[in-house]
Amino acid sequence: MQPFRFQAGAVLPTPPTFWYPEEPASVLLLPGLNNSGPGHWQSRWERLPGFSRVDLGDWEKPRLHHWVERLDQAIGDTTGPVVLAAHSLGCLAVAWWSALKWHDRLEHKVRGAVLVAPPDVDAVDAHAGLRDFRPAPRLRLPFTSLLVASRDDHYASFRRSAELARAWSCTLVDAGEAGHLNADSGLGAWPTGLRLVSELSGHDAPALMAQATPLA
């Protein structure tokens, strides 16, 4: 798979056929292990209109089926279409939710997903808190998805991220050397990520970035 390297002004892949620019989707934020702290881009995005964090339950000792049930409930409880913006273990929650809960009636409910820095849960030295999510599911995601990966993420090699992107039928977005794409990466409100999300949600990207700038 040839990764898509994000650059300012670049054109992203064609949005899904059920994309309605006049009706922005709600963006559900899905953190990973230990939740996302105040300096994380997800915490900054949470203050934007139309963005909300999903409480997946136990953040320190996550359990796959608990997280999947919480995600399923959040999607069902949200009025109108949704876009999923997941980080780290939250990406595995999305993949497992798709494998276990998807049905055709959701086709117009889930417009897409941006999956950022999924960890390699199958690695021999994977963090103990990730192991309930192994093995990583290998089923194609039935909605448009972007997988954003860093080349120096200590939780997953870029090769592993590319393998997951192929298995899930995601467009692979090469973030360069940006660590785990979290608060330690110095992303601030991460305008690049906001643009990726807006391509799927139908939000006005410049307006989102203008609102996000004070949050950086």
pLDDT tens-digit readout, 35-75: 999 999 999 999 999 999 999 999 999 999 999 999 999 99
Q: Count helices and strands (H / E) in the chain.
A: 6, 7
The residue-averaged pLDDT of 13-38 equals 77
Which of these, 52, 17, 14, 54, lies nearest to 32 by C-alpha position? 54
Domain assignment present for residue 13? The answer is no
Give the residue among 123, 172, 120 at the shortest CA–CA distance from 145. 172
Say if 16 falls within a structural domain.
no
CATH at 90: 3.40.50.1820
Domain of 181, in residue numbers: 25-215
- Render pLDDT for 83-139 as a digit per residue (tens, 0 to 9): 999 999 999 999 999 999 999 989 999 999 999 999 999 999 999 999 999 999 999
Which value, to the nearest 10 degrees, does the dihedral of the CA atoms of residues 157, 162, 166, 168 take?
60
Q: Give a yes or no: residue 136 inside a domain.
A: yes
In a domain, 2, yes or no: no
Residue 87 lies in a domain: yes
Q: What amino acid occupies position 77?
A: D
The rounded radius of gyration (Å) of the Cα atoms in the chain is 16
What is the biggest distance separating any 2 CA atoms in the chain, rounded to whole angstroms? 46
- Among positive and negative, which fits the CA dihedral 88, 113, 26, 215? positive
* Cβ atoms < 10 Å from Cβ of 131: 13
Residue 41 lies in a domain: yes
pLDDT band at 216 (very low <50, low <70, confident <90, very high): low
Residue 182 domain flag: yes
Please give the tally of structural domains in the chain.
1
Residue of higher predicted confidence among 171 and 2: 171
For residue 9, tell me if it sits in a domain.
no
DSSP 178: -
